[in-house]
Amino acid sequence: MTFGAFAWKNLTRRPVRTLLTAGGVALAVAVAVSLGGFNLGYRRAIAGSIEQLGFQVMVMAKGCPYEAATMMLKGGTGLLYLPEDAHAKIKTDPDIEAITPIFIGIAEKQGASISDAPSSGAFTILSGVDAASFAAMKPWLKFKAGQGYDGGRWFTPGSTDEVVMGFEAAEYEQRKVGDVFYASVTPSGKTDPVMHTFKVTGVLERSGSQDDGTVFLPLKTAQKVFGREGQLTIIGIKLREFNGIRMREFEGRWMGIPEVQVVSLEQVKGALVSLVGTAQTMVAAVAVIAIIVAVIGVINAILMSVYERIGEIGIMKAVGADRGQIFRLIWTETLLVCLAGAAAGCLLAVIAAGATDAALRHLLNIGVTRSLVRITPELLGGAVLGSAVLGLLAGVWPARRAAALHPVEAIRSNE
Amino acid sequence: MRGDILISGRGLCRYYRRGSETVRALDGVDIDVRGGEALGILGPSGSGKTTLINLLSALDAPTAGTLTIDGRRVDGLSENALVDIRRGTLGYVFQQFHLVPTLNVAENVALPLLFLGRKPDPAELARVLRSIGLAGRAGHLPRELSGGQMQRVAIGRALIIRPRVLIADEPTGNLDRETGDAIFELFLKAVREEGVALVLTTHNHLLAARCDRTVTLEDGRVKQETHGRPSPAPDALAPSAFKPT
């Protein structure tokens, strides 16, 4: 028999207490791992979603940069518009590698043509784009192939009745190439919606971005449908060399255009990350409190276990155990409880990652498509290691108390 | 070796502070324990029996006097130094069995070896289990044993290290007379067959009379020392005083 096996057997004598103590540790570890996973996943999801926009800089109407960022990521109402001639001016900038004008509008979904899936929502995002520059900005966009999807292509630039549907938009609407797509749009300045009929020329493969839920149509057509001729929502720009200096230089050249702001997607990323910073701090505080409570629970449980076994500890000392061995035994018990709790907590966090992601997605509706919780082996390893360190610290006091017991007094304690 | 002095105490004193009062639990006791002899310590409650046995077993240090165990001076040593004295030399049996409830009989018996850093030798373990009559119950947990059987496990736990001195404090105090007799016989068997010295405290004069020598304490002092019936030679013993249970 080894010290480890002996310590484990000692823990099994009060299985409920051991389980509850390990459960407290498990809960704290699960919260800490989920929070760590959220920290990792959220940043990656933001970075991934912004990456999928395809450009580094946005030019848009002046307003809240947070709103602008989330609008780009998930669409939204209350859009602001900038004059189209800004595009003509800015595209002459020598630092620009690629530029694409985008018009975004919201259409009401229509009765029979709509999937009943609750996730389909009540609106469809219509995005008016210049097909050539937009596709060049996002080379990863591919047309879906297969029965009913073959022959997919971008609409012809001057067409007024052609659309390309994102993967999810087509799924929800149950549309294939050649099908009709209905959109009910209330033009600017009007109160009554107007029904428009389009032909689907292509369905895009899933990209994992906001493009999946978008219906694309020619820029001019979109502007006309929404009654906003000569207006854009954003201009997406990719610079030849993107760094802080170039960005500031570029911003300085174009910030003089009235009602227009130049926003770096790095700024957007920072803004979105800081947006949940406070919430993360609060959750971290909860995790710290949970860990403190768990550590106190471990100390209490092990102390109780020591007090219940004073006589036994006295006998162990009488038959040859020195202070160090008693300390080691109690320390090992504490470590085992914490490691068992850590393992259970990691398992819990991994199992619950999907639910945690859904809950966070519900709370933080910012339109990122990737998972908000990313639990990595390094994170789990860190949690187990951290639990072991806390276990060792928590075990010091009970182990010292046990080691310091005088054998005679300990043996006589029950008499 | 039989007859050699294993423990020698001279002028042993043990005082305790109780509030402003000093309690003289032991006050100038001279005592020797020889190899292969059974020494019974008698006396009324509060006479100093347990205090004396704690000193003789290096569980406690005397306030005054000199104590030598297996040739090493014990008085004035630290707790860890006392552990070194106890290890491998002294075996203990107490009135409270204090078995580890989650360890089976064999594991409880082998427990001291864990602290000595030795792996149990299966043959040696089997021998000890046979000697205490529990070979058939090696895998049983303490809760499955009677009081007498638990005390036998405690004796096995003391014998597994092959001690030179077996120290027992009221070992039959929690047992009925018949079981107590059987346990006492087991101690005598260890003395006769293995040549260990036995130091035993008891209230039971009949049991004490079966020891080679008895020391009676009163108020922390030796009141009387009696030499009893000599132990029979090992070859005169029956094969086993106990039937396995």
* Residue range B184-194, pLDDT digits in tens: 888 888 788 87
In tens, the pLDDT along B167-176 reads: 988 887 777 7
Helices (H), chain B: 49-56, 79-86, 105-116, 122-131, 147-159, 177-194, 205-208
Domain with A126, as residue range(s), is: 81-232
Q: Are residues A41 and A178 in the same domain?
A: no
Tokens of A385: 């290691």
CA atoms of A298 and A395, how far apart (whole Å): 8
Name the residue among B54, B59, B115 with its Cβ closest to that of A316: B115
Q: What is the mean pLDDT of chain B?
A: 82
In tens, the pLDDT along B112-130 reads: 998 888 888 899 899 888 8
Q: In the CATH scheme, what architecture does the domain B35-61+78-236 have?
A: 3-Layer(aba) Sandwich (3.40)
CA atoms of B103 and A238, how far apart (whole Å): 72
Q: Are residues A110 and A181 in the same domain?
A: yes
Order of strands across the sheet that contains B5-18: B21-34, B5-18, B64-69, B72-73
Q: Are residues A164 and A42 in the same domain?
A: no
Helix A277-308 with A265-275: angle, nearest 10 deg: 40
CA dihedral B73→B79→B81→B85, nearest 10 degrees, is 70
Within a domain: A28: yes
Instruction: Give residue for tokens 């347990």.
Output: B50
* SS3 state at B20: coil
A414 has a pLDDT exceeding 70: no
Return the amino acid letter for A376: T
Q: Are residues A393 and A307 in the same domain?
A: yes
CA atoms of B142 and B149, how far apart (whole Å): 9
Of the three residues A232, A252, A268, the one that is the final residue of a domain is A232
Q: Are residues A309 and A220 in the same domain?
A: no
Q: Are residues A314 and A408 in the same domain?
A: yes
Strands B197-201, B165-169: parallel, antiparallel or unpaired by DSSP? parallel
> Do B115 and A311 lie within an 8 Å CB cutoff?
no
Which of B57, B77, B82, B98 should be substituted to probe chain A, the one whose Cβ sees the most A Cβ atoms within 10 Å? B98
Instruction: Give residue for tokens 């999907």.
Output: A354
> Do A414 and B94 lie within an 8 Å CB cutoff?
no
In tens, the pLDDT along A207-221 reads: 877 788 889 999 999
Taking CB atoms within 8 Å and a gap of at least 24, the contacts of A268-272 are A268/A50, A268/A58, A268/A65, A268/A68, A268/A69, A268/A72, A269/A46, A269/A47, A269/A50, A271/A65, A271/A66, A271/A69, A272/A46, A272/A66, A272/A69, A272/A70, A272/A366
Which of A306, A308, A315, A326 should be substituted to probe chain B, the one whose Cβ sees the most B Cβ atoms within 10 Å? A315
Tokens of B81: 């130094």
Chain B residues close to A6, C-beta within 8 Å: 103, 114
In tens, the pLDDT along A304-316 reads: 988 888 888 888 8
Name the residue among B79, B87, B95 with its Cβ closest to that of A320: B87
- Chain B nearest C-alpha distance from A207 (Å): 59
What confidence category does residue A269 fall into, taking pLDDT thresholds of 50, 70 and 90? confident
Number of Cβ pairs closer than 8 Å across A and B? 72
In tens, the pLDDT along A125-137 reads: 889 999 888 988 8
Within a domain: A312: yes
Name the residue among A3, A9, A408 with its Cβ closest to that of B103: A9
CA atoms of A30 and A211, how far apart (whole Å): 34
- Chain B nearest C-alpha distance from A346 (Å): 29
Q: Are residues A211 and A137 in the same domain?
A: yes
Q: Are residues A132 and A227 in the same domain?
A: yes
Distances (CA, A) of A331 to A248, A293, A338, B53, B80: 58, 19, 11, 31, 19
Q: Are residues A183 and A305 in the same domain?
A: no
pLDDT value of residue B228: 66
Chain B residues close to A321, C-beta within 8 Å: 83, 115
Determine phi and psi for A2, rounding to 5 degrees.
Answer: -100, 170
Residues from B contacting A (CB-CB < 8 Å) are 50, 54, 57, 59-60, 79-80, 83, 86-88, 91-92, 94-96, 98, 100-103, 107, 110-112, 114-116, 157-158, 161
> Do A322 and B115 lie within an 8 Å CB cutoff?
yes
Name the residue among A10, A319, A407 with its Cβ closest to that of B112: A319
